Structure 1
């Protein structure tokens, strides 16, 4: 159980990578941009991949009526997410320490993992909802008003995951380094649960 507890202590600490590295990355490539434009989405704001990328993306979006990319103070998520991640790191490591001291069972490891999974799903849902609003709630007075072949207004929602074509832009949306840190930490905690479960079964066989 000691090894499982140590793993549970270490796993949540990987989430601290979200304070340093971006959670998600969206890139836009087109013939007129030899170097693709990109944004990195952090838990506390949106930043350029290269200098002036956000400025250039906002300039392009202005023509088709899309809103400018939000500043940290314009979205409650960028204030809330760092606090939630900090709380989950503290809670997960505390569970691991208490289990190491024999105060909690390995079942608490699974509870933390499930709670973190629910929060992750809710975060992705919120992220997707923001992109839907960003790509479909267009200014009716935009310079360019483009329509689909069936006559409906064209929307510009980036994909949540993967690649799509928007006008002459190739848009790719994928998890970034911070997401892989989070994934690794969560896998360590589920590994800690199974290790603790195996230890408990072994103890029962020999008692």
Structure 2
């Protein structure tokens, strides 16, 4: 088995990918926006790593009439541990860049990928619960109507147009994932080439 390190350019990309994720602590990760005739300028809620910001109170006031739950920090238990999850992934990414081993690079890429999938699944489950579990005593009831916000993109909900998608921090993390995809692809092609030259060699 050959313990082959990644080259300096790949190490740099891994380090950049890890350090870029630090922005998650200072920029919003997700956003949900609403537009309606009475709100032509739009209402916007931003989801950070540990808090909410934006027009949350106004959105709560509007959605109260159709029986939707009050949006608050307590609705997102993820806020209590996401800061540690990100810290661990960032730390491992820096370590992967320092030791420059393929297994560490692949593991770091897997962590970012699982984080992305986890966020999407979590947002879908939250949106489903928020849009379907309505107060039966609400002032406005539309039989058979659910108000689940879109996971990604736009969706019409009564007289509102809703949008959901990554915010600044989310796009930066996605870019980190793209950088890691480039590194992993390079490593895979290098390993494949080495294996073709020597079928009995294992690279780690």
**Structure 1 length as normaliser, TM-score?**
0.84
Structure 2 regions of 5+ residues with no counterpart?
1-6, 198-204
Following superposition, the deviation at residue 109 of structure 1 comes to: 1.2
The residue that corresponds to 2:66 in the other structure is: 64
The residue that corresponds to 2:90 in the other structure is: 89
Q: 1:33 & 1:123 partners in 2: Cα distance?
A: 29
Following superposition, the deviation at residue 190 of structure 1 comes to: 2.4
Specify which of 167, 172, 191 is matched with residue 176 of structure 1.
Answer: 167
User: Over aligned residue pairs, what C-alpha RMSD do you find?
Assistant: 2.1
The residue that corresponds to 2:114 in the other structure is: 118
The residue that corresponds to 1:108 in the other structure is: 104
Following superposition, the deviation at residue 70 of structure 1 comes to: 1.8
Alignment of 1:42-61 (within 5 A): 42-48=48-54, 53-61=55-63
Q: 2:156 & 2:190 partners in 1: Cα distance?
A: 51
Pair 1:39-2:35 in alignment: no
Structure 1 stretches of 4+ moved >6 Å: none
Specify which of 2, 20, 25 is matched with residue 8 of structure 2.
Answer: 2
Pair 1:16-2:43 in alignment: no
The residue that corresponds to 1:165 in the other structure is: 156
**1:65 alignment partner, SS class:** coil
**2:65 alignment partner, SS class:** helix
Q: 1:107 & 1:8 partners in 2: Cα distance?
A: 13
Structure 1 regions of 5+ residues with no counterpart?
none
Q: 2:158 & 2:174 partners in 1: Cα distance?
A: 33
Q: How many residues align?
A: 191
